[in-house]
Amino acid sequence: MNKSWQHFITYGFSIVVTRGLSLIMLPFITRYLAPEQIGKLELLATISVFVGLFITFCLHEALYRYAGHFTSVKKQYVIANRLFSLSCLVAAIIGLPLCLLAFTLDHQLLSPITHKELLLVLVSVLFTGPLSVSTAWLRMQDKARSFFVISAIASLIQVTWIVIALNLHATVGAILWAGLVATVFQMVALQVANQFRWRKIPISPMKQYLIYSLPIVGSGLVAFGLSGAERWILAANTSLLELGLYAIAAKFALAMCLLVQPFGMWWMPKRFQMIKEQGRTAVIRISQAGLIYIFMLVAAMSYAAPLFISIALPIDYEPAITFIVPALMIAMFKEMGEITNIGILYRKQTQHLFTINLISAVGGVSSAFVAGQWGIIAILTALALVGIGRFVAISIVSHRFYHLHYDCGSLLTLAMLSISFCFLSIYIQDMTARLIMSLLSPIFILLTALLLQRFALTQLPALQQSEP
């Protein structure tokens, strides 16, 4: 456990200096870019996420599943090499034609995005597939320090580029160039660390990997309707100004998700192995600990985010506080679904995950379009309600495939407590009160969890000790 905590903390620092970079740099960037430019960056980021779903093809999930159960590092490395080679092939087949297409699209069709901005985004996305496999392999080998060093240097390069570029010429393109340069460095550094080589992939394993990953890609694609497509709906129904303000609020929801990721980066590659070695009790204990961690983060962020916006950002961004609570609710139930989605993946029934996400996406996009006439809050509320339904469906179906008897009553109590803290934050305007509540709310949730005596820091009674 001591080693696990070291890795957890190391991954946490890695997340802070990489994916948390957008939040760390927010006070600096907002002094150079107007809300409309932030809105354009959000549109480009959404395009990046959408295209990235196809280019990554979720092959890192195949690495967890097909290499994770081997005890031999040599056998794991063979599979990792195959998947890295396959990820490069998929990136070339899908990404390069898209880059060529970016030159031919009509300017009016792209507006307000330029050809150069779109091309910069697409070139960066080309590396996402190989990067996802490379970083997943580092985590599987518990090379947390190597992961941190590479991430830190890449982030330093990106920050330096942004600072210099914005001082010289404050444009959206400057931010995109910084991301591309950092991505190229990270790709080269990971290749040096992992020493992957191009390998010819036998047809049978290739089909196996792609068939396993395809439903996950489909699931990610339709889940985009719940977390990503709303940017397009907002852009169509509002303006780049309002989209930029929402983007600020969404960054704090992202910050909450990033703080969850150290747990996920440690737990996701280990969960199937733990099922085999330690059985259900350990899986339940750790999963419930992850859920409590999410409840604490959501409550704390609902107070910390408005405080940060009021103190650190220009006055033009103050209206973004209005969108923080609905953005946090959407992110909260998304992260809860990731943690409870064990049985579906363990039994390789990813088609059920696809079905759930497809229904959720159709419902989310449809309800968002209908709610668009009442503004951003209505759109976000509709998406949050659909997100709750998705989480419930994933939990129920996953439980049917692999029975994990969570303490649902206590978890529901803690979830409602966290949500109550969030909505209470809407009515608290005083800076000192926000600071105090950002500290006290997660502590209160943790103490409540300890009193319920059913969670990570308490001793759970033995359930079923062995794998069926």
Tens-place pLDDT, residues 103-114: 787 766 677 788
State residue 62's pLDDT score: 86
Alpha-carbon dihedral 342, 344, 347, 351, rounded to 10 degrees:
-150
State residue 425's pLDDT score: 93
Give the whole-number percent of the chain exceeding pLDDT 90.
32
Rounded to an integer, what distance in angstroms lies between the CA atom of residue 2 and that of residue 5?
A: 5
Average pLDDT over residues 386-406: 86
Q: Which residues contact 104 (CB under 8 A, 6 or more apart)?
A: none
Rounded to an integer, what distance in angstroms lies between the CA atom of residue 286 and that of residue 52?
A: 30
Q: Is 107 exposed, middle or buried (0-12, 13-18, 19+ CB in 10 A)?
A: exposed
Q: Quick one: CA dihedral 420, 423, 427, 428, positive or negative?
A: positive
State residue 4's pLDDT score: 65
Q: Are 306 and 232 in contact (CB under 8 A)?
A: no
- Range among 177-191, 260-274, 344-358 rated most confident: 177-191
State residue 457's pLDDT score: 44
Listed by start position, the domains of the chain span: 1-203, 225-462
pLDDT band at 438 (very low <50, low <70, confident <90, very high): very high
Assess whether pLDDT exceeds 60 at residue 281: yes
State residue 325's pLDDT score: 94
Tokens of 334: 């998304």
State residue 121's pLDDT score: 93
State residue 88's pLDDT score: 93
Q: Are 119 and 46 in contact (CB under 8 A)?
A: no
Q: Are 83 and 133 in contact (CB under 8 A)?
A: yes
Rounded to an integer, what distance in angstroms lies between the CA atom of residue 61 and that of residue 391?
A: 20
pLDDT band at 5 (very low <50, low <70, confident <90, very high): low
State residue 460's pLDDT score: 42
Q: Quick one: CA dihedral 27, 228, 399, 464, positive or negative?
A: negative
Average pLDDT over residues 393-422: 88
Triad 65, 68, 70: Cα angle to 5° = 125
Q: Are 53 and 220 in contact (CB under 8 A)?
A: yes
Average pLDDT over residues 390-405: 86
pLDDT tens string 292-337: 999 999 999 999 999 999 999 988 899 999 999 999 999 999 999 8
pTM: 0.73
Helix axes 128-140, 172-194, angle to 10 degrees: 50
Average pLDDT over residues 380-384: 88
pLDDT band at 461 (very low <50, low <70, confident <90, very high): very low
Number of Cβ atoms within 10 Å of the Cβ of 336: 25
State residue 65's pLDDT score: 80
pLDDT band at 349 (very low <50, low <70, confident <90, very high): confident
Average pLDDT over residues 444-467: 62
Least confident of 20-34, 120-134, 170-184: 20-34
State residue 468's pLDDT score: 44
Q: Which residues contact 254 (CB under 8 A, 6 or more apart)?
A: 19, 22, 23, 331
Q: What is the DSSP letter of 137?
A: H
